[in-house]
Chains A and B, each alone.
Chain A
């Protein structure tokens, strides 16, 4: 650690802001958290390196190639679908006189918070072989519906779960773009539709692409939906491989492959996002003129209504239908209550731990900008960006080899959750700390407090809203998390998510409906929380 401290001094000098040298304890804690965050990835690399058959040989197997091909195809379809839905929705809800455009925008964002496996479960339970729709149509002689399983179903469900990324990115770009740019194009001889083609779309393109790539990342990392819809993307193949085989090296290689894909997409996304930022030219803003849709408003409303119907109404309605059926058949409510208690307990513990760990990371980033703090920030971000199934697998390997005492304990699960989802809490904390500055603490110092005491007596109370908000976000995210709960939970431990996954996989739709209903309510809470945070940041 002395070496780290030495480098720290140099980093602080190089940093543009002359920041007070961070206390050594803070640096040690921050680096420890950052290293823990990427330990799964590091271990996976080590593990893949000593695959006996040779990693390259495993990669070249036809099975591996077909899984990779399928994953790329799925990602491509999701990219196309999310852009085709998200970009027009963004334009309709910001630049036109679409009736109820604010309501459409809000409703269309909600699916972002619904776990993909809940939507997948809903689609299976609604349109699957023994689903609600088929049941209703049976009297009319309909015995088969189009297949919901496989690539088409997975692409549809993931598109419906991830298009809000494109919607939000495009909306933000539309709202901050300067309308005089489009007016300038009119004055230079363009008709309205020329302006859309020559100016509006090119300016929005980076934002649309960035949103589309976030959707691709979502699709790559998704485990729940592809599992329930039985499509062999990398995430599912990793799990199948892990469960089925004694040699788990192939799982490790596949996991690294997935990380590589995700990393490549994330790098491109970051690049495009910087380009989008360069396009966000400032200046005096006047609200952009609204385009009168005229008779086109009917197809526009139909479009918005279909999106909301598929992405929001189908999950909610299906879950409700099966919930009612289940209650009528005398479902075991106590099981659901048990799952809910277990889920909320783990989520609350993880949220608490994440907030505690987020404080040093946020203080380091806000108060002591330096190479060290930036490195710590990047490490925890990488940990957050890793697909859940990859982290779960790596932690299983690691725990069985290194700390078998912790393997399949709740302590390990909570710790992994806390470190992985820490950026959700540290982001808001850092923003609040930067906003507060050091003047309140300095006032405390002049009144006789030591630095640590002033931080505790002055800053921590001021941080409370941010701590609560960050903790709530971690809580809601953990409560909906599936792959890590599945792989790392103790034997016999079930959460709402694993219960839905188990029941839906086995075709017990009524049993899955109770937990799904609870998670839908939590999803609504997530959206409300995010909307409130966004309002406050304005």
Chain B
């Protein structure tokens, strides 16, 4: 695993705002690295820094071992061997599809062959002579990918490449583009605010907030072992429940939970990440007398699962899968919360919970109230779908389990 691109301590400020704030990131050969972050988190700036369209204020960027930005080096974009697929495609409006793809192949004697090869790869051989304004969004997208691939760049950067397409087309193109890039053996970084995209497309994914990268790991690791409470609630739906850790076990109001990863070494109070799929609900016919201290206050169908929101008498709320017994439960019913046998992570309390500064109306609702052992609720917009904070807009499957 050699690093195709290596960023060390890269920073870029716009006036008082640190768009990129000390980022270390490694892109490995042949991999697709997705960068997930809310809008305004600096992910586009990150790409523009790698491409050379912006210069970093601090840090270094290396591509294939060559320093392209940083002290003593400032390679202009045209000599970086970096390809980019822009959010709005940015096809040259005065050139045909084939001429667009051939643009970066000026000095290549075999460019006709290469163009034909790429048009085949993206399935547009029949449209070589079309002008860009006649193309559909999906076709323009493929041309943009082919154009970026044509000069065989070391790195391909994709800036929210699917955000301008409608939902059905987006899902199809995601798969297509991933296949195309894999067939070309490209090393790629894709930035997105859509967690489905980041989870499904990435060999590895990075979570970026306020100019910082919080975690880089395989998508299932980011989901299963989030590095901090923000990542836990940003990627998927998570309840953060107070617990007491000892010997790899956290004791919570839901009972003992086995811990994995670094959390096994914790001792003392912690926030335990409990996903809805870690829980299911059972009827409590006799109400509180039956241990049914929870009451159903909300219900959402995610397309694959029914999620129910329950509240305890002390005000704590949880999202839980309905489970086999829970299908006929109604809002207002008293229930018991049953913990499935799972392993999860916990974060020692006593430090502030990081969260994004709300950049827009959909930003995270972080109410880090801590009572005496009561739950801290970091996620969820009560009236909206039980989506991870800040990314609910494009979520199609918030109840995903990995």
Q: Is A183 an interface residue (CB 8 A)?
A: yes
Q: Is A284 an interface residue (CB 8 A)?
A: yes
Question: A181–B84 contact, CB under 8 A?
Answer: no
Question: B92–A189 contact, CB under 8 A?
Answer: no
CA distance A417 to B113 in the complex (A): 63
Question: B93–A181 contact, CB under 8 A?
Answer: yes
> What residue in chain B is nearest A204 (Cβ atoms)?
B94
Stretch from A72-80, A132-140, A275-283, A446-454 at the B interface: A275-283
CA distance A198 to B92 in the complex (A): 10
Question: A278–B93 contact, CB under 8 A?
Answer: yes
The proximity string for A residues 243-287 relative to B, scoring 1 for CB distances below 8 Å and 0 otherwise, is 000000000000000000000000000000000001111111000
Question: B133–A187 contact, CB under 8 A?
Answer: no
Residue A283 contacts which of B89, B94, B148 (CB distance < 8 angstroms)? B89
Residues of B within 8 A of A181 (CB): 90-93
Question: B77–A186 contact, CB under 8 A?
Answer: yes
B142–chain A nearest beta-carbon distance, Å: 15
Question: B133–A281 contact, CB under 8 A?
Answer: yes
Residue B90 contacts which of A183, A198, A205, A280 (CB distance < 8 angstroms)? A183
CA distance A280 to B93 in the complex (A): 8
CA distance A221 to B351 in the complex (A): 77
Question: B89–A185 contact, CB under 8 A?
Answer: no
Question: B88–A184 contact, CB under 8 A?
Answer: no
Residue A184 contacts which of B80, B133, B147 (CB distance < 8 angstroms)? B147
Interface residues on A, range: 20 to 34
> What residue in chain A is nearest B101 (Cβ atoms)?
A188
> What residue in chain A is nearest B163 (Cβ atoms)?
A284
Question: B151–A283 contact, CB under 8 A?
Answer: no
Question: B88–A189 contact, CB under 8 A?
Answer: no
Which DSSP category, helix, strand, loop or mixed, fits chain A's interface?
helix
CA distance A264 to B84 in the complex (A): 43
For chain B, residues 68 to 127, give those with C-beta under 8 angstroms from any C-beta of chain A.
Answer: 76-80, 82-84, 86-94, 103-104, 106
CA distance A283 to B140 in the complex (A): 12
CA distance A189 to B79 in the complex (A): 6
The proximity string for A residues 175-218 relative to B, scoring 1 for CB distances below 8 Å and 0 otherwise, is 00010110111111111000000110011010000000000000
Residue B151 contacts which of A189, A191, A202 (CB distance < 8 angstroms)? A189
Question: B78–A190 contact, CB under 8 A?
Answer: yes
Q: Is B368 an interface residue (CB 8 A)?
A: no
CA distance A184 to B104 in the complex (A): 9
The proximity string for A residues 269-310 relative to B, scoring 1 for CB distances below 8 Å and 0 otherwise, is 000000000111111100000000000000000000000000
Q: Is B51 an interface residue (CB 8 A)?
A: yes
Question: A283–B90 contact, CB under 8 A?
Answer: yes
Question: B84–A283 contact, CB under 8 A?
Answer: no
B366–chain A nearest beta-carbon distance, Å: 28
Question: A187–B88 contact, CB under 8 A?
Answer: no
A383–chain B nearest beta-carbon distance, Å: 33
CA distance A191 to B80 in the complex (A): 12
Query: Do A183 and B77 contact each other (CB < 8 Å), given the known contacts A188-B151, A281-B133?
Result: yes
Residues of A within 8 A of B86 (CB): 180, 183-184, 283
Residues of A within 8 A of B76 (CB): 186, 191
Residues of B within 8 A of A280 (CB): 93
Q: Is B53 an interface residue (CB 8 A)?
A: yes
Residue A188 contacts which of B89, B103, B132, B164 (CB distance < 8 angstroms)? B103
Question: A187–B92 contact, CB under 8 A?
Answer: no
Question: A284–B93 contact, CB under 8 A?
Answer: no
CA distance A180 to B51 in the complex (A): 12
Question: B78–A178 contact, CB under 8 A?
Answer: no
Residues of B within 8 A of A180 (CB): 86-88, 90
Question: A187–B51 contact, CB under 8 A?
Answer: yes
Residues of A within 8 A of B52 (CB): 186-187
A4–chain B nearest beta-carbon distance, Å: 37
Question: A283–B164 contact, CB under 8 A?
Answer: yes
Question: A281–B104 contact, CB under 8 A?
Answer: no
Question: A281–B84 contact, CB under 8 A?
Answer: no
14 inter-chain pairs at a CB distance below 8 angstroms, sorted by A residue, are A181-B92, A181-B93, A183-B77, A184-B92, A184-B147, A187-B83, A188-B78, A189-B104, A279-B93, A280-B93, A281-B133, A282-B88, A283-B87, A283-B90
8 closest A-B pairs by beta carbon, nearest first, are: A283-B88, A188-B104, A180-B90, A186-B77, A279-B93, A202-B94, A180-B86, A278-B133
Beyond the given A184-B84, A188-B148, A281-B132, please list 17 additional residue pairs across the A-B interface where CB-CB is below 8 A: A178-B88, A183-B86, A184-B147, A186-B76, A187-B77, A187-B82, A187-B148, A188-B78, A188-B147, A189-B78, A198-B103, A199-B94, A203-B93, A203-B94, A280-B93, A282-B88, A283-B164
